[in-house]
Structure 1
Amino acid sequence: MKQPYLIEFPKLGAPEIGYISVTEQLKQIPFEVQRTFWTYYTPESIVRGRHAHYKTEQVLVAVSGRIIVTTELPDGTVEVYRLEDPHVGLYVPPHAWHTMQYSHSAVQLVFASLPYDEQDYIRQYEKFREVWKP
């Protein structure tokens, strides 16, 4: 079963001139990207996500601000990731329950392996535990 892990994108530049990160042909992403979206202006008190996917894989990037991502795998393994470097992304496999909490200035960029399909979402935690029993 796939595990969440961090992906580092190239960080080119220097403090005195700034940086650019790039992925040509999305080579660092472990799947073909079929959907890209971003979230922003999320109040700090809101926890987003609260779901898993049957099939969709994602890479989450905090292009601005800080995002705390918590993942839970079917075997009960819980990991917390602090995304705050715009050259680092988090791979989230389809069977991982995940939540995100944002700093006020956070902008999250998401690369997804499939187009949006409501049927791919598991939105109730109890159903996630039932579907992905270890």
Structure 2
Amino acid sequence: MSETMDAPKPARLEDIRLIELPKIPDPRGNLTFIEGRRHIPFDIQRVFYLYDVPGGESRGGHALKTTEQFIIAASGSFSVVLDSGTTRQRFVLNRSYYGLYVPPMIWRELEDFSSGAVCLVLASAPYSEADYYREYADFKQAIKR
């Protein structure tokens, strides 16, 4: 396999978007649901969540080569800093009926977790360590190809 042929295409920050999810209000508590390929642009293959993140800590610090993600503040709030390799943008997630679509080849860092925050992530593929750029320099090199 040639690295040039298989090199992932760089994404643009314009490909990232906040998506409002359906919200069914009820005096007993609201309900929001997500369907793959209906509300988000991929089939859901994996779900994970981050919780009990200590104050001042950050998560993420990687880019994915082929996996798409949809990030939601299921509870509390946090910031998502996205980097295309040339431009950075910060998104504050603090409503459980909004999520952030992140395409492949975008560096991501999650910061400023509020007390009790829960970050829910839907992914387009099962976990594979081979799909990750864990070093920013490696990510930058990959988007130059």
TM-score of the superposition, structure 2-length normalised?
Answer: 0.85
**Against the structure 1 CA distance between its residues 25 and 90, is the aligned structure 2 distance closer, same or farther, given a 3 Å change threshold?**
closer
Question: Structure 2, unaligned stretches of length 5 or more?
Answer: 1-10
Tell me the CA shift for residue 29 of structure 1.
Answer: 1.2
Which AA in structure 2 matches 1:6?
Answer: L
The DSSP-based 3-state class of the residue aligned with 2:30 is strand
Match of 1:87 in 2: 97
Which AA in structure 2 matches 1:64?
Answer: S
**Against the structure 1 CA distance between its residues 65 and 26, is the aligned structure 2 distance closer, same or farther, given a 3 Å change threshold?**
farther
Match of 2:21 in 1: 9
Match of 2:62 in 1: 51
Q: Which whole-Å CA distance do the structure 1 matches of 2:136 and 2:31 have between them?
A: 38
Tell me the CA shift for residue 18 of structure 1.
Answer: 3.1
Q: How many residues align?
A: 132
Q: Which whole-Å CA distance do the structure 2 matches of 1:25 and 1:121 have between them?
A: 23
Which AA in structure 2 matches 1:100?
Answer: L
RMSD: 1.6
Structure 1: 4+ residue segments shifted above 4 A: none
Tell me the CA shift for residue 104 of structure 1.
Answer: 2.0
Q: Which whole-Å CA distance do the structure 2 matches of 1:108 and 1:118 have between them?
A: 20
If each structure's strand is expressed as a fraction of its own residues, which one has the higher value? Answer: 1
Residues 116-127 of structure 1 aligned to structure 2 (within 5 Å):
116-127=127-138
TM-score of the superposition, structure 1-length normalised?
Answer: 0.91
Q: Which whole-Å CA distance do the structure 2 matches of 1:26 and 1:32 have between them?
A: 6
Deviation per CA, 1:83-134: give whole Å up to 9, x if none.
0000000011111000001112110111000000001000001111110128
Q: Kindly, what percent of the aligned residue pairs are identical?
A: 39
Which AA in structure 2 matches 1:93?
Answer: P
Q: Which whole-Å CA distance do the structure 2 matches of 1:83 and 1:26 have between them?
A: 22
